[in-house]
Amino acid sequence: MAKITYIEHNGTQHVVEVANGLTVMEGARDNNIPGIEADCGGACACSTCHVYVDPAWVSKLPAKDDMEEDMLDFAYQPDPERSRLTCQLKITDALDGLVVQMPEKQI
């Protein structure tokens, strides 16, 4: 179980516990957190679960694979360092305290 902080574009924070084995996207979906649409349901076939990872966490996450990199090209204002697709971030105890911020919109 990990506590994840989701920050909406307007600054509203949601801190929720997400079970190990789920993804950061599923944690947002299951807790009705606005700003992560997840249109493809977690198949890494869209970019509607795009977030900006807090700078302190960028180096602590697993590297992006080629498919995630490709999908991020379609995200709204992607940041080469901080942008991630939450469907590709599996929850483990190591992610306890992760902070992500949603972009202004998902496309």
| pTM: predicted TM-score of the whole model, two decimal places | 0.96
Give the β-pairing of 13-18 and 50-53.
Answer: unpaired
The reported pLDDT for the residue numbered 86 is 98
For each of the domains in the chain, give its residue range(s) and CATH number, in order of start.
2-101 (3.10.20.30)
Calculate what percentage of the chain has a pLDDT beyond 90. Answer: 99
Q: Which phi and psi angles does 20 have, rounded to 5°?
A: -55, 145
Give me the pLDDT at residue 31, please. 97
Q: Which residue has the tokens 């190591």?
A: 94
Q: Which two tokens stand for residue 57?
A: 């966490």
CB 1 within 8 A of CB 16: no
Structure tokens at 94: 């190591």
